[in-house]
Chain A
């Protein structure tokens, strides 16, 4: 087994041009588990955690570009936590502090687990991923990148370089259900994003399908239902639903319908379906009427 430690993206791309290409190791929190369970037996490894550029992020023109090597701990710290509050909320639920120090957003994306906690957030934010290889760079919308359980569109010779999405962007909530109060794989998770300027809502569901899913019917229904309340500036004003509680119930129904959950040892499909409905309704209520003074998508560290 050979291990190459890359110090720059071009160096990494050059290493990846080998045939067969080496396997990319970032924080190792998924990779090493697979090695320990003998599900993965790498012949050649390319370590990317020493590539400074991958651990950096930039904000420009209302877009945030996160290097694939950005860790959960970085996501939890300001100013990133304020620019992408739901991502910080998701990051807070990942593993333990040790895992959050090592684990990266790029690793979460390439692992492409239906339970990957950053994925519903990135999906709700209409994120795009940048993939680079010796042949050049391509950009894919997240929905095209995530193909199925633990399957993504990355070619073996490609490095995931960054993920991009609008930020700051509206109001955001990420909520995750697990059978334990911390360090747990999601039984179901939900990200809801509300753009107060347009009154548009986007909903993504995690752990209830082969990939994270958008609840588009619920989004379309909400577009009809949302009405600004009072006269405050749209950025902070409250919204209400035209049909009140009945609308909330309909959203729950549509969300449960959008889910494609399975029965497994972590939960039943019936509970998962129920849980995403409850969570979307709760997240929506928080977004429609933000508590006075509460920073939106506040993160309890």
Chain B
């Protein structure tokens, strides 16, 4: 592993590998996760879920649940006082199902009892008479099938028409690609604690990605004014998009208000699989046309995503999958149709990479196919078409910021290959690992390459602002900065960066973060879309600068000078000319300083009816080169190495960037070779970590970071781009390209299963 650590003078501030404040407690098991919450006299909640993907509820009898000793509340749809449904973008999902259930796992009854086991037994005792219906499970059918929801089956159809519809290229390649349903597979199951308040409201302690949007939905369903519903961030055990939607939030609050007691819920792993959204399965058709020199002339595409039973963030995911369907390349002419539809499969929504992942798997397979058709090196083909600053996307948007696509391609392609081949590796490092299945003569090595990109922040006119407050005061042992911001720390390291930013801007040594809560401050927006460093980091930086400005004013008054002639450096305000200086501590003796700011990114606009518009704030790019060993007979794969280069704008904390890169690659590798929610007629077959496989240490490749390309992004605080999502986007297609290189098989679907290789017909053409 290559750790990029450049020599820097500073040991604090922006640019250093500051350690996470919660790192040691997490490793020692002392960190309080949402599942560790406790309140005196609390009850335990449990939710009864539908066993059917589609059914009518003929009758519901909660009597037998009430008959169990220790049961304190048994709630059905009729007990929801406010809006019966919620949703991130469209409120189409029932808090509790009333007359129909539309997916396996849909909540039907919520129970609170003295003991979690009592709550589970009570839920099991509820009599629900279902009339099972034929589930609608094929997204293609869904477009024209009779609606399974009053809102219809098409969440969104959008079409991009760009350039000259008549333009043609001499070399044409075409393909259809599929992506299975991936799960975010966070470790900390959904959990939280709702505490009824004296004002008739409720305090909810919950692991989430966006406190305020949860609050808005919860308050609507409870029929309470916003200020009576207060959400506080509890310790989050991973998120990756799966905590962007409401899951148990409303249920917990309903139970707490119904019983007048604190209610806690911790989902089992199985229930967890049923209560958060997954990555959209995709079917993507692409036709690329290029000239003989390998310049892309046009791309036609159709993207179909399975949104599952409810809308969640489907409309935004399809926007990405459609807009990015042709990849980080100059494509002068394109037509892309994007569809996302409702089915009786589990609801799908946000997951790291958000629509860009599915698209990248398809367009990168096409780029390799095109390279083969042209007789061109795949890396050269990508370089020849790579987007640059100033280029126009198929949505008509001109890239105003940095776009070092060629740089990331060249760096990743140029990284040293692994020193040893399969012949020299220990048994356990061969495909099959600890199972000792491999015979070296039947192991082939393959190398594959892929590039990907994605938007940063929310798009299409959305103003996802963030608010932060910084207070600077004189504590007993010197100046202390307190940051208040509702940004959810989900593991990405905002808690580290917020401190680094304060150190950088104010020169303080002591920084504390107030617990994020809707009761303290306005929205920070979601911890998603690679946006929190930019948005909440930006808000903290601006609040610091406002406080610094006030500090300079104070000093100017005292020194009888103009604030413009002063600077804040090394814990003191100093005159630009002359020796006058006042320590920050001295200045704070007058009293604390506090500033609250709301940070906005530049305005974007919606896409028009031809899918054109300046819809995105900025973009981040990454390239991955994968090296794999494949057991040709058993179809088992070992990903040996992934070399990567990423466009980061500026590195604010090298260790945290590396953490995002390694974690993102783990998820990309998982999607390439093992991670899939297996569905059978809408039924989830593997809702457990026994059967939903994610990479172990033996599956994780060596990660070689060839370059972190630092081209500062205009408008971004410190020039830094978000780094969370790009590692996940092109790592999957790179791995599959490497497996194709080793086997000669087309492999148009992920995850690649052993049988896809081992049982492939020998005559299958090369991609």
Interface residue ranges, A against B (CB under 8 Å): 36-38, 89, 92-93, 96, 173-187, 189, 264-268, 270-271, 274-275, 278-279, 282, 285, 298, 300
* B117 nearest in chain A by CB position: A38
A182-B433 contact, Cβ under 8 Å, with A285-B439, A300-B428: yes
Contact A271 B437 (CB under 8 A): no
Binds A, one of B13-21, B386-394, B398-406, B633-641: B633-641
Contact B436 A89 (CB under 8 A): yes
Q: Which residues of A contact B678 (CB under 8 A)?
A: 265
Residue B698 interfacial (CB < 8 Å): yes
Give the residue of A93, A175, A179 whose beta carbon is less than 8 angstroms from that of B753.
A179
Q: Which residues of A contact B693 (CB under 8 A)?
A: 179-180, 184
Contact B755 A180 (CB under 8 A): no
- The docked-state distance in angstroms from the alpha carbon of A187 to that of B432 is 12
Residue B419 interfacial (CB < 8 Å): no
Binds A, one of B25-33, B101-109, B491-499, B684-692: B684-692
Q: Shortest CB–CB separation between residue A84 and chain B, in angstroms? A: 16
Residue B758 interfacial (CB < 8 Å): yes
Q: List 7 A-B contacts (CB under 8 A).
A: A179-B753, A181-B696, A265-B680, A274-B758, A275-B754, A279-B437, A300-B426
Among B434, B690, B755, the most chain A Cβ lie within 10 Å of the Cβ of B434
Contact A181 B698 (CB under 8 A): yes
Within 8 A of A (CB), among B618-647: 633-636, 638
Residue B145 interfacial (CB < 8 Å): no
Inter-chain pairs besides A36-B268, A177-B435, A265-B680, 10 sampled, C-beta below 8 Å: A37-B270, A93-B434, A178-B432, A181-B435, A182-B698, A184-B435, A186-B435, A274-B759, A300-B427, A300-B434
Question: Which 3 pairs between the two chains have the least Cβ-Cβ distance?
Answer: A181-B433, A265-B685, A176-B435
* B426 nearest in chain A by CB position: A300
Contact A93 B755 (CB under 8 A): no
A38-B120 contact, Cβ under 8 Å, with A182-B697, A300-B426: yes
Q: Which residues of B contact A178 (CB under 8 A)?
A: 432, 435
* A190 nearest in chain B by CB position: B437
Q: Shortest CB–CB separation between residue A275 and chain B, in angstroms? A: 6
Q: Which residues of A contact B148 (CB under 8 A)?
A: none
Give the residue of B426, B437, B686, B696 whose beta carbon is less than 8 angstroms from that of A282.
B437
- The docked-state distance in angstroms from the alpha carbon of A58 to that of B666 is 44
Within 8 A of A (CB), among B719-767: 753-755, 758-759
Residue B585 interfacial (CB < 8 Å): no
Contact B439 A282 (CB under 8 A): yes
A180-B759 contact, Cβ under 8 Å, with A275-B634, A282-B439: no
Give the residue of A96, A176, A264, A298 whose beta carbon is less than 8 angstroms from that of B437.
A176
Contact B434 A92 (CB under 8 A): yes
Give the residue of B120, B433, B758 whose beta carbon is less than 8 angstroms from that of A275.
B758
- The docked-state distance in angstroms from the alpha carbon of A10 to that of B375 is 77
Contact A176 B436 (CB under 8 A): yes
Q: Which residues of A contact B755 (CB under 8 A)?
A: 267-268, 270-271, 274
Residue B190 interfacial (CB < 8 Å): no
A278-B633 contact, Cβ under 8 Å, with A177-B435, A181-B432, A300-B427: yes
Contact B634 A181 (CB under 8 A): no
Give the residue of B270, B754, B759 whose beta carbon is less than 8 angstroms from that of A179.
B754
Among B270, B436, B754, the most chain A Cβ lie within 10 Å of the Cβ of B436
Contact B434 A177 (CB under 8 A): no
Contact A181 B699 (CB under 8 A): yes
Q: Which residues of B contact A36 (CB under 8 A)?
A: 268
- The docked-state distance in angstroms from the alpha carbon of A186 to that of B753 is 15
Q: Which residues of A contact B120 (CB under 8 A)?
A: 38
A265-B686 contact, Cβ under 8 Å, with A181-B432, A270-B759, A275-B634: yes
Residue B674 interfacial (CB < 8 Å): yes
Q: Shortest CB–CB separation between residue A51 and chain B, in angstroms? A: 29
Give the residue of B270, B436, B635, B697 whose beta carbon is less than 8 angstroms from that of A175.
B436
Q: Shortest CB–CB separation between residue A272 and chain B, in angstroms? A: 9
Q: Shortest CB–CB separation between residue A290 and chain B, in angstroms? A: 14
Q: Mark B259-279, 1 if CB is under 8 A from A, else 0.
A: 000000000101000000000
Q: Which residues of B contact A184 (CB under 8 A)?
A: 435, 693
Q: Which residues of B contact A266 (CB under 8 A)?
A: 691
Contact B426 A265 (CB under 8 A): no
* B692 nearest in chain A by CB position: A265
Within 8 A of A (CB), among B418-471: 426-428, 431-437, 439
- The docked-state distance in angstroms from the alpha carbon of A173 to that of B434 is 13
Residue B592 interfacial (CB < 8 Å): no
Q: Shortest CB–CB separation between residue B751 and chain A, in angstroms? A: 9
- The docked-state distance in angstroms from the alpha carbon of A189 to that of B634 is 12
Q: Which residues of A contact B427 (CB under 8 A)?
A: 298, 300
Give the residue of A182, A285, A300 whose beta carbon is less than 8 angstroms from that of B696.
A182
Q: Mark B79-114, 1 if CB is under 8 A from A, else 0.
A: 000000000000000000000000000000000000
Contact B699 A182 (CB under 8 A): yes
Q: Which residues of B contact A187 (CB under 8 A)?
A: 754
Q: Which residues of B contact A173 (CB under 8 A)?
A: 436
Q: Which residues of A contact B758 (CB under 8 A)?
A: 271, 274-275, 278
Q: Which residues of B contact A92 (CB under 8 A)?
A: 434
Residue B695 interfacial (CB < 8 Å): yes
Contact A180 B695 (CB under 8 A): yes
Give the residue of A37, A177, A265 whose beta carbon is less than 8 angstroms from that of B634.
A177
Q: Which residues of A contact B426 (CB under 8 A)?
A: 300
Q: Which residues of A contact B635 (CB under 8 A)?
A: 271
Q: Which residues of A contact B696 (CB under 8 A)?
A: 96, 180-183
* A282 nearest in chain B by CB position: B439
* B680 nearest in chain A by CB position: A265
Q: Mark B682-722, 1 if CB is under 8 A from A, else 0.
A: 00011000110101111100000000000000000000000
Contact B436 A179 (CB under 8 A): no
Q: Mark B38-59, 1 if CB is under 8 A from A, else 0.
A: 0000000000000000000000
Q: Shortest CB–CB separation between residue B428 and chain A, in angstroms? A: 4
- The docked-state distance in angstroms from the alpha carbon of A268 to that of B695 is 21
- The docked-state distance in angstroms from the alpha carbon of A187 to that of B755 is 11
Among A96, A173, A177, A298, the most chain B Cβ lie within 10 Å of the Cβ of A177
Q: Which residues of A contact B691 (CB under 8 A)?
A: 185, 265-266
- The docked-state distance in angstroms from the alpha carbon of A239 to that of B482 is 76
Contact A271 B759 (CB under 8 A): yes
Among A175, A179, A184, the most chain B Cβ lie within 10 Å of the Cβ of A179
- The docked-state distance in angstroms from the alpha carbon of A265 to that of B635 is 17
Contact B754 A271 (CB under 8 A): yes
- The docked-state distance in angstroms from the alpha carbon of A180 to that of B691 is 11
Q: Which residues of A contact B754 (CB under 8 A)?
A: 177, 179, 187, 267, 271, 275
* B638 nearest in chain A by CB position: A181
- The docked-state distance in angstroms from the alpha carbon of A296 to that of B164 is 68
- The docked-state distance in angstroms from the alpha carbon of A271 to that of B634 is 9
Contact A175 B428 (CB under 8 A): no
Give the residue of B437, B753, B759 whose beta carbon is less than 8 angstroms from that of A177.
B437
Among B120, B426, B427, B432, the most chain A Cβ lie within 10 Å of the Cβ of B432
- The docked-state distance in angstroms from the alpha carbon of A89 to that of B428 is 11
* B677 nearest in chain A by CB position: A265
- The docked-state distance in angstroms from the alpha carbon of A182 to that of B432 is 8
Q: Which residues of B contact A268 (CB under 8 A)?
A: 755
* B686 nearest in chain A by CB position: A265
Q: Shortest CB–CB separation between residue A22 and chain B, in angstroms? A: 19
- The docked-state distance in angstroms from the alpha carbon of A184 to that of B694 is 10
- The docked-state distance in angstroms from the alpha carbon of A39 to that of B718 is 55
Q: Which residues of B contact A93 (CB under 8 A)?
A: 434-436
Contact A181 B434 (CB under 8 A): yes
Q: Which residues of A contact B434 (CB under 8 A)?
A: 92-93, 176, 181-182, 300
